[in-house]
Amino acid sequence: MINLLSANFARLWKSSVFWVLEGGAALWSAVVYALALVNAHDFGQTWALERANANFFFVMLYLGPALAIFAGFYTGVEYADGTIRNKLCAGHFRRDVYLANLAVCAAMGLFLALTHAAVACAVSLAFLPAALALTGPVRNLVCAAGVILAYAAIFTLAAMLDTNRSRMLVVSLVFSLALLMAGMMVFGHLRDLEQSIQAVLAQPEAFEDAAGRLRMLRGMRSLFRVLEALLPSAQILYLINHQMSAPAYLPLCSLALAAVLTAAGLALFRRKDLK
């Protein structure tokens, strides 16, 4: 396993896709904070700095598409070059090959997040008001780690089971964008339901069947909370919202999702015919 990880990370440092994605993360971080500083200095829009802590996690918005691209290219090259087949012929277990690729994909997500945060600090930390402690990033680090692992499990599963790199790239990229849109919809509907419930509780006399309406709204809220727990893309929106913190159970849901997908991927990869 150690030899596999060593070889995988050696390939990672030489990967042009890795450096392009890292450069994109650094550029995006610099632009986000530079615009916040410009808005505060030139237009007096201090809200940009007041929510600066949340901007530390803007990288999570494009983490899904980035990992879809990375996993597709990285694993696709291994299939095309026969590297995976050679690893198996050398006596490595399929389980170890799969987990080593998962580790590299998760590390890629972590590197993107760290690069984004490091550039953010370099560009803007000295300009932030002294009262702004980095409570947001510290509080949400566990949730971000869970999201990274969940995304890595999703796209490692896709990459390891489809040897057609072009098809896998297109499907994974489209799926990552659809996942992001679904997460936004679930997050938005959940906030609307919360407001509707509060409105009924505040003025029950304004509704014909307040009790029945309340039961229906609470049932729908429970459904959307389950969807929120299953979608790492929905959890991202807690990270970039400076007025909200992710519920404590969401990181556990992300870890559970990653574990289930990894177990399924291992089972399917063991049965995969590598010609």
Which residues of the chain, if any, have pLDDT below 50?
A: 48, 129-133
- What is the share, in percent, of the chain residues with pLDDT greater than 90? 16
Cα 159 to Cα 70, 154, 165, 166, 187, distances in angstroms: 10, 9, 8, 11, 28
Residue range 226-245, pLDDT digits in tens: 888 888 888 888 877 766 66
Cα–Cα distance for residue pair 258/48, rounded to 1 Å: 34
| pLDDT value, residue 262 | 93
- Domain ranges within the chain, ordered by starting residue: 2-271
| pLDDT value, residue 99 | 92
Q: What pTM was estimated for this model as a whole?
A: 0.85
| pLDDT value, residue 133 | 46
Residue whose entry in the numeric block shows the structure tokens 């150690």: 2
| pLDDT value, residue 132 | 46
Residue range 84-130, pLDDT digits in tens: 888 878 888 888 888 999 999 999 999 998 888 788 777 766 555 44
